[in-house]
Chains A and B, each alone.
Chain A
Amino acid sequence: MPRTLPLMSRDDDPPRRSALLSFRFLGTALLGSLVMALVCTFGPLSAQIAVLGAFISILGGLFLSYLAQDDQRECQRTEVIERLTVPLSLAPDREIYAQYLAICQALTELARKDDAILRQTALLKLASIVSQVQSLTGGTIVFSLTESWRMVYEQLLFSPDIRKYRSVAWVKTADYWQDQPGRQSMQVNFEAVHRGVHIERIVVLPHALWPQGQLLPSPDILPWIEEQHNHGLWLTLVRESHLMHEPDLLCDFGIYGDRAVGVQELDAHARTLRFTLEFSAQAVQLAEDRWRRISLYTTSLRCLLDQLPPDA
């Protein structure tokens, strides 16, 4: 059965009484009229004018004070509306709005706590969170001392709009990307290249892994490089010593289409110290420029393999 909701009607509102019939108006008007009538009956003309002037002045004062109060009320109303604009602008984005509500709720609860140490610690933590959120707003995500950046890396390589991925692998030790997360990321590379993503990688190698005078890198790292080559990635190599006089080129980074740039910093055991992901056109442009400069020093692996003797 369809149900009909009762319509809102102006007739349902309680009838508004005219201001002319209110006690405030009638009482004041009658009292004023009585005073003026008495002054007109018993007082001289000058007294009548003085009383009339006083009444008009009182009326003017009241009007001005009403205007001042109205201004104040308007300011307060505007302030309240401004506070509401944040949730109003966030409301269409459900996921972020849910986070906003959760943070507001937690902050409200936190504000009720009166332990001074708790409050001080909370404020310090909150300041750090604000800084991180502001960094996110600028398109930068920083992962410190964790390999969890690889999840975002995977997402990027699997996004349909990323057709090209260029990376510079600054291999300082043979452990580079040899642990479980590293090997998994390499599988993601192979899957991506199979789906049609064009992957180019420049491998920067130190003397220990590619001694001067040797055609190919040492067996400690060569299988890792050859595996990528065999999967159809375009590999080029450069000796670390060739980039020494341009130290800003010694960097481990990746360019994900024209969308983002990731910079990896590793410790001595090739574990991630920090991975910074920047989603900005400017960062991509700068990384591309750096890529072009490094490319000037590189040699393709194919070219090196061609120089192997026939029986190798």
Chain B
Amino acid sequence: MRPTQLYLDTARLGRMSPRAQQAHLDFARLAGEEGGSLFFENFLRVGAGDWADETQASYPGLASWRGVGSLKESLRALAISSPGLPVLLANRSAQLMKLAARLLYRPCENVLVTDLGWPPYHDVLAAEAARAGANLTSVPVRDMALHGQAGEDEIVEAILTNYLRQRCDGLFLTAVSHQGVRQPVERLVRSLEAVAEPRFVVIDGSQEFCHVSADLRHEYCDLYLAGCHKWLQAYHPMGLAFYGRRRSRFVIETVLDQLVFKGELDDPLLRFSTQLETDRLDSRTETVNLACLFSCQGAVADALEEPRTPSRSLPRRLDSLTVAAGVAAASGWQPLLPPPAFRTGILLLQAERETSRALPATHLRHAFSERGVALTAYDGGVVRLSMPAQGWQPGELERLQGALRAAS
């Protein structure tokens, strides 16, 4: 097995950003020095602001830590979310998805999803629907979008028609699918609001956050789910849930409190981070892995720096995608390109040769890995490439072309 020369697998797990690495290393050293001392607890609560210059210089990766509240402010800045709306942090995204499902099926009897969603999340919704004796309606739009059979207007119309025909009253939409198709979620919600009244709207922004744009300033959804280990590049998994609207703030808080109180939602970081923020730590809190908080803080600092912000990096990723699609087409791979409005920094390619299509996904992934390229492979001869934020560097396209030819 060779080390990776070209990393194109950010959609699965992003490489740790430089400041996240620094924060992680310094946190490990601080843990080695301080363990669970009062000094450490104070640092955790209020940050390194009152550290002596010498101490700050010893732990540069942690010097910008100012407590959980400050981290949440930075995250809100990344998502362009209103300052007054809370953010939830959790060790496991699945727990936040469980909360979202519960919130959806309280006021809603029929929640609409599209087949662009992440199947495990749809399973959570289906289980909650069964519990509540409600429905989950799935609208097929993937083929329309992925094979260029329809434009944005047609997709919006298809979803709108199904929403009304099936008498749906809630929405769970995926902003960017794991196959790289971008859905016009805000436009969809606004169009629906004009003719019906969605009772609760949840957006899965796992592939959108820090990649395309998570612009929550217009309060179009009630809850927005995201994570830190993909495009934010914090590496350590940590689930994020942004409250999207003022009107549903207390609904979310009430339901969250109920679920935590009844033990139906059990995530140590979710509880601990809220206690840290409000400075109300109780003695019964279980020991929580905090490494993800500091790597996240480092990654956020990197992501907020101008060249890496989604607004700056997305055009470069899209350019890279066009170039890569051309290279792939000349190397025995068919690019599965959606119309420009649906494109993101994720490119799907399908092998043209039948023998390559018959290869299991693991074989395909290994074939690329042997040529120094990391990507995601699927059965049916399909690979997923995440475009680099800085555009193609010298030699990278040649390496990719070589790998594509060899694996075709």
- List residues of A whose CB falls within 8 A of some B CB: 163-164, 193-194, 196-198, 226, 229-234, 300, 302-303, 305-306, 308, 310
Contact = CB atoms under 8 A, between A and B. Distances in A.
A302 B247 CA distance: 6
B102 to A, nearest CB: 8
Given A196-B105, A230-B254, A305 B131 contact: no
Given A196-B133, A300-B197, A234 B105 contact: no
Given A194-B258, A234-B199, A303-B197, A229 B105 contact: no
B132 A163 contact: yes
A193 B254 CA distance: 12
Question: Could you say which interface size class chain B belongs to?
Answer: 20 to 34
B3 to A, nearest CB: 51
A198 B132 contact: yes
B167 to A, nearest CB: 13
B250 interface: yes
B103 A232 contact: yes
Contacts of A197: 132
A163 B131 CA distance: 10
Contacts of B73: none
B361 interface: no
Contact of B254 (A164, A231, A305, A310): A231
Contacts of A164: 109, 133
A48 B335 CA distance: 129
Interface in B2-47: none
B254 A302 contact: no
B124 interface: no
A300 B197 CA distance: 9
Contacts of A196: 105, 131-133
B251 A305 contact: no
5 contacts: A198-B133, A230-B251, A230-B254, A231-B106, A300-B197
B307 interface: no
A232 B255 contact: yes
Contacts of B106: 193, 198, 231-233
B328 to A, nearest CB: 46
B107 interface: yes
Contacts of A230: 250-251, 253-254
Nearest to A229: B251
Given A194-B258, A198-B132, A232-B107, A308 B246 contact: yes
Given A163-B132, A198-B106, A230-B251, 7 more contacts: A197-B132, A198-B109, A198-B132, A198-B134, A233-B107, A302-B199, A302-B247
A7 B133 CA distance: 59
A277 to B, nearest CB: 23
B197 A232 contact: no
Contact of A305 (B109, B247, B255): B247
A70 B253 CA distance: 83
Contacts of A300: 197, 199
A159 B306 CA distance: 58
Contacts of B134: 198
A234 B247 contact: no
B247 A226 contact: no
The 3 closest A-B CB pairs, nearest first, are A232-B106, A305-B247, A163-B133
Contacts of B132: 163, 196-198
Contacts of B248: 302
